[in-house]
């Protein structure tokens, strides 16, 4: 059995790598089903091919009632399997318009942003509804995750890939596969700004410092300055009971909060420009000191 798939990406790849004088053979735009399934298997996790079906020009039936298709969008197609559902569409919108529309419409269809804590309740985490890369959107609904990833090719309409996974790892009900140290779990939860990417590989142009057992370090891709980031996190710490004990430089500030046994918790947040443009290094450290 053969299943037609949208071949624009394949045609583009061939145009880049093949010599100019070679003309692709004429014929229907089709590939063997077993080849398509083999190509998809590494990217769809639990996808095995059994019980799956490809659709062309429409949203898979199980997702259609719960997925917003913007006016003027062109649905390219998708795949539906027992564990994963994917739909790809082309939209006449900017990335900012896509984010605003889906953050509004998917909530109306019963989805909700994941908890800011995600799989943990400490340290730096993406903003509600934002993927760790800062560009994708994430929603949850009763054991399922929905991730919407935009992809922009110059002079082409924006392409969206929406993936639904049963018991998706992007949502708050994910299983913990590793246990953090007790010291790390004592760190406060710090929610990143909207549209900020965390630990994107483009930010790792040099060696990054790794936090010790009582702290953590991350790289953040953002247009905000270190001083603006510091104020963003300062508001969260103040709202959760921390008080600043220092008027240090704009990129470093210290907070304290009373603890038991005559001690206090001292939290130091440091934000430093990375060697990579558009990236900032974040570090938070926690220690106990005598309560003054």
pLDDT at residue 74 greater than cutoff 90: yes
Q: What distance separates the 2 farthest-apart alpha carbons in the chain?
A: 81
Q: Best-predicted range by mean pLDDT among 48-62, 72-86, 157-171?
A: 72-86
Of 73, 77, 106, which is closest to residue 90 (Cα–Cα)? Answer: 73
pLDDT at residue 4 in the model: 42
Tell me the per-residue pLDDT of 228-285, one tens digit each, with 9 for 90 and over: 888 898 888 888 888 876 554 447 788 888 888 778 888 888 887 777 878 888 888 8
pLDDT at residue 168 in the model: 52
pLDDT at residue 106 in the model: 92
Backbone Cα Rg of the chain: 23
Tell me the per-residue pLDDT of 136-165, one tens digit each, with 9 for 90 and over: 888 888 778 899 999 888 888 999 999 998
CA distance linking residue 91 with residue 69, whole number of Å: 9
51, 110, 119, 208, 237 from 66: Cα distances, Å: 21, 7, 25, 41, 37
> What is the distance in angstroms between the CA of the first residue and the CA of the last residue of the chain?
76
CA distance linking residue 280 with residue 250, whole number of Å: 14
pLDDT greater at residue 135 or residue 92: 92
Helix, strand or coil for residue 201? helix
Tell me the per-residue pLDDT of 9-57, one tens digit each, with 9 for 90 and over: 333 333 333 344 444 455 556 667 777 777 666 665 545 556 678 888 9
Contact 114, 143 (CB under 8 A): no
Domain limits, CATH 3.30.310, in the chain: 182-290
83, 129, 183, 240 from 136: Cα distances, Å: 21, 9, 31, 28
Q: What share of the chain is helix, strand, coil (3-state, %, to 5)?
A: 20, 35, 50
Question: Token match 């953090």: residue?
Answer: 180
Give the CA angle between residues 211, 223, 278 to the nearest 5°: 60
What pairing do the DSSP bridges indicate for beta strands 279-290 and 263-273?
antiparallel
Contact 61, 80 (CB under 8 A): yes
Q: Catalogue the long-range contacts made by 96-103 (C-beta closer than 8 Å, 24 or more residues apart).
A: 98/70, 98/137, 98/148, 98/150, 98/158, 98/160, 99/137, 99/195, 101/68, 101/70, 102/68, 102/137, 102/148, 103/129, 103/137
CA 234 to chain centre: 23
Contact 230, 212 (CB under 8 A): no
CA distance linking residue 126 with residue 146, whole number of Å: 16
**Domain 182-290, CATH 1.10.10 — does that match?**
no
Q: In the chain, where do the E strands start and end?
A: 2-4, 30-32, 53-56, 74-80, 84-91, 123-125, 137-141, 144-151, 158-166, 189-191, 197-198, 215-221, 243-244, 252-258, 263-273, 279-290
């Amino acid at each position: 059995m053969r299943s037609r798939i949208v071949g624009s990406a394949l045609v583009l790849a061939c145009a880049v790598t093949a010599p100019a004088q070679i003309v692709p053979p004429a014929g229907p735009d089709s590939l063997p089903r077993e080849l398509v399934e083999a190509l998809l298997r590494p990217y769809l996790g639990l996808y095995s091919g059994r019980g799956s079906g490809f659709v062309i020009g429409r949203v898979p039936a199980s997702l259609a009632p719960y997925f917003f298709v913007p006016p003027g969008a062109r649905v390219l197609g998708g795949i539906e399997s027992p564990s994963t559902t994917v739909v790809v569409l082309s939209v006449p919108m900017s990335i900012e318009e896509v984010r605003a529309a889906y953050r509004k419409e998917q909530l109306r269809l019963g989805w909700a942003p994941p908890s800011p804590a995600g799989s943990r309740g400490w340290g730096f985490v993406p903003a509600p509804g934002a993927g760790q890369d800062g560009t994708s959107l994430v929603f949850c609904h009763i054991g399922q995750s929905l991730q919407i990833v935009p992809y922009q090719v110059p002079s082409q309409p924006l392409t969206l890939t929406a993936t639904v996974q049963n018991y998706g790892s992007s949502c708050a009900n994910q299983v913990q596969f590793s246990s953090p140290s007790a010291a790390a779990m004592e760190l406060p939860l710090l929610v990143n700004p909207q549209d900020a990417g965390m630990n994107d590989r483009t930010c790792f142009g040099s060696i990054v410092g790794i936090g010790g057992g009582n702290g953590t370090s991350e790289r953040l891709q953002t247009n905000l300055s270190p001083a603006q980031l510091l104020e963003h996190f300062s508001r969260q710490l103040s709202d959760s009971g921390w008080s600043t004990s220092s008027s240090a430089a704009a990129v470093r500030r210290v907070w304290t909060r009373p603890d038991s046994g005559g001690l206090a918790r001292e939290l130091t947040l440091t934000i430093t420009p990375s060697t990579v443009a558009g990236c900032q290094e974040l570090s938070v450290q926690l220690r106990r000191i005598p309560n003054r």
